[in-house]
Homo-oligomer: A and B are copies of this chain.
């Protein structure tokens, strides 16, 4: 049974790394003491070691140890052996490039489909969708493909942002960008605001956390769903 948390962000403004979701994670990871961390997205170019230490410090508070996938000689075996996995945020283009380079995209997909508990934040959430094409990140590296894990039947837009009222900036709003995506792709997109997450338990997919989410279906007017909603597309 799939067991996934797909979070908009690792950190909400004014609180520590993962602090807003730590109670949830204590229960989510209750059957494992060690979590395999995938630091490939490395925000701001932080090292794998430094990033793993950040995750480790947060999980220490709920009695878990964290090991970075880069510490293992065989990352494929590390994924197969893990009882809990966490992929942190950063740059999605970099994350996807690294997952392909280390040949772990498919093993990670299989582990999640086989029931290994998986937490993603930001870029680590983006890759749960069928493609990374609704990321907000800058294409700092050319990945061999935009295809990602596909462990949910839609795409994610993390850090979802409403148009800023009174803005004079002429760059596209998030909603406009997702509409452009839908000119060439029919996949639904769920925009998750910071402080919210999607919980997958087998076939049940639910919105959790502080905010409504904005849903974009091909050729439909976007709409809001309240927290607690089941997410289904017919």
Contacts and interface: CB of A to CB of B under 8 A. Distances in A.
**For the complex formed by this chain, how many copies does it contain in all?**
2
A138 B180 contact: yes
A43 B170 CA distance: 12
Contacts of A194: 169-170
A178 B91 CA distance: 11
A145 interface: yes
B45 A183 contact: yes
Q: Considering residues A93, A137, A146, A180, which has the most beta carbons from chain B within 10 angstroms of its beta carbon?
A: A180
A44 interface: yes
A90 B177 CA distance: 10
Contact of A146 (B91, B135, B142): B142
A159 B168 contact: no
A11 interface: yes
Interface string A103-146: 00000000000000000000000000000111111111110011
B178 A169 contact: no
A220 interface: no
A142 B139 contact: no
A136 B94 CA distance: 16
A85 to B, nearest CB: 22
A202 to B, nearest CB: 30
A32 interface: no
Interface string A155-168: 00001010010001
A138 B142 contact: no
A57 B217 CA distance: 33
A58 interface: no
Interface string A18-57: 0000000000000000000000000111000000000000
Contacts of A43: 172, 180
- A-B residue pairs, 9 tightest by C-beta: A45-B183, A13-B168, A159-B171, A138-B177, A140-B181, A142-B146, A9-B170, A133-B139, A91-B180
17 contacts: A12-B170, A13-B169, A44-B179, A91-B180, A133-B139, A133-B140, A134-B138, A137-B172, A138-B178, A138-B181, A140-B180, A140-B184, A140-B185, A142-B146, A159-B171, A161-B171, A164-B164
